Structure 1
Amino acid sequence: MEFVIKHFKELSTTELYEILKTRAEIFVVEQDCVYQDLDDSDQDAIHVFGWNDSGRVAGCLRVFWKDHDEAEILPI
């Protein structure tokens, strides 16, 4: 699996679409967790995601900086 680390501004539209599609499949459909996923936090996050052999995003997370020297990883 290839992992990619990018700030929101660096994501291509295809990468963002695949990340959001994966999040919807996992959290909304599989876990039946209906909530507002687009929470205005993506723009401030570092996005870490992995492509599988089928060209799909197989996993992703967001990293938020508390300050310059400390990061906080929150579930997405």
Structure 2
Amino acid sequence: MKTIAQLTYIPLSEEDPREKVQDLLEHLAQYDVEIEVGYLSTTIIGAPKTVFEVIEDLYDTMSLESEKFRFHVELLSPEK
């Protein structure tokens, strides 16, 4: 079974948020998930446990590196 999560990260205290977003995309590469980068969000597809681990890790990373941010997570029903 695979879980699909659509993630949107918005750094609120940065003049140019692209660098912070790019850093997180590079951080995602260490996980065993499929990554689809869109204009406004990124979709990850993988084992449920891994997807939730990614979400938690990204949140922890953003909390340490960004003063203020929004992190939207949308979960789609699992694929079998």
- Normalising by the residue count of structure 1, what TM-score does the alignment of the two structures yield? 0.33
- Structure (1/2) with the larger helix percentage: 2
